[in-house]
Amino acid sequence: MTAARASVLDAAPSTLEPSVHAHVDPVIEFRNVTKAFGEKVVYRDLSFQVFRGETLVVMGGSGVGKSVMLKMLIGLLEADGGSIRFRGDEVTRMDERELRTLRCHIAMLFQGAALFDSLTVGENVAYALHEHHRDDMTAAQIQERVHWALSLVDLPGIEHMSPADLSGGMRKRVGLARAIALKPEVLLYDEPNTGLDPINTARVNHMINGLKRTINVTSIVVTHDMSSAFAVADRMAMVHRGQIIALGSPEAFRTSTDPRVADFINGHAPEHEDVETLLQS
């Protein structure tokens, strides 16, 4: 790896966007975002962009705030400062009605799938449709959309099953079906392979790539699993001590000379980096 290439990977995130995006407006933009919980600083300067149709993988140790980033994007958590934009609209100034509309366009697969055990699989997948489209979709249209979404995750015909009867991998896929039932522009994946065996991990990675092609969705995948990261990423970003320290192609990450990046990729970095340590450097 040349010195010039190393400087591109490890430079300030705002300088790292590939030239193909130089004259394209980002779908998502974080600019100088800060977030703390009391005295625990999670982000002191979070800045990056996501472009239409790409999959950006955000990696970093447990506890660095990757899930916090996703929740700020859809308004489940408020940023303390800075700007978060979706298609040019400022998310941090949206009221609850505007955030509900935003969540029709940006859907999220939560880490534990977050299914309602009191509802059937079909009712779980239809839940967001009833919330957001009760006035413009008939019951038959909702049922058809549920079947479409379950078919996309290779689980057709299980609408009447209970979530309690599903394996961990199936629960993740039902959670994904619920997210794509809205036909969102953006999909957020929060540790999509946590707790899955290698076969189900490969299946979820295949679905992430397949959905990008099938429904032309833009994706942010949060993970600390390197094999999955390289399997799905168009670009990668690494969070460390309250900011993104590296942003570039998978190949640039593989050949990075930054010890923080290389150690993490090779499994030498500590798995847990608590937010209490973020300002101690």
Q: For 209-267, how does the pLDDT look when each residue is reduced to its tens digit (9 = 90+)?
A: 999 988 889 999 998 888 999 999 999 999 988 899 999 999 999 998 888 898 888 87
Closest of 40, 20, 98, 53 to residue 218, by C-alpha: 53
**Where residue 168 sits, what CATH number does that domain have?**
3.40.50.300
pLDDT of residue 183: 92
pLDDT of residue 268: 64
Q: Give the residue numbers spanning the domain of 151.
A: 3-277
Any idea what the Cα angle at residue 109 is, between residues 182 and 218, rounded to 5°? 65
- How much is the pLDDT for 94? 96
Beta-carbon contacts of residue 19 (< 8 Å; ≥ 6 apart): none
The pairing of beta strand 55-59 with beta strand 218-223: parallel
Alpha carbon distance 94, 237 (integer Å) = 27
Given a cut of 60, whether residue 22 has pLDDT beyond it is: no
Q: Comparing 170 with 6, which gets the higher pLDDT? A: 170
65 compared with 82, residue with greater pLDDT: 82
Overall average pLDDT of the 100-110 stretch: 91
User: Residue 23: its pLDDT value, please?
Assistant: 61
What pLDDT score was predicted for residue 48?
95
Check residue 2 and give its pLDDT: 40
pLDDT at 182 over 60: yes
Residue 1 has pLDDT above 50, yes or no: no
> Quick one: what percent of the chain has pLDDT higher than 70?
85
Average pLDDT over residues 171-190: 92
pLDDT tens, residue by residue, 125-174: 999 888 877 778 899 999 999 999 999 999 998 999 999 898 888 888 99
pTM for this predicted structure: 0.84
Domain total in the chain: 1
pLDDT of residue 79: 96
Cα–Cα distance between 181 and 146 in angstroms, integer? Answer: 6
| Mean pLDDT along residues 182-208 | 90
Summary mean pLDDT of the chain: 85
pLDDT of 121 over the 60 cut: yes
Residue 98 has pLDDT above 90, yes or no: yes
Mean pLDDT of all residues in 182-201: 90
Q: Which two tokens stand for residue 219?
A: 């994706």
Q: What are the two backbone dihedrals, phi and then psi, of residue 154, each rounded to the nearest 5 degrees?
A: 60, 35
* pLDDT tens profile 107-119: 998 877 788 889 9
Is 50 exceeded by the pLDDT of residue 16?
no
DSSP-derived letter for residue 272 is: B
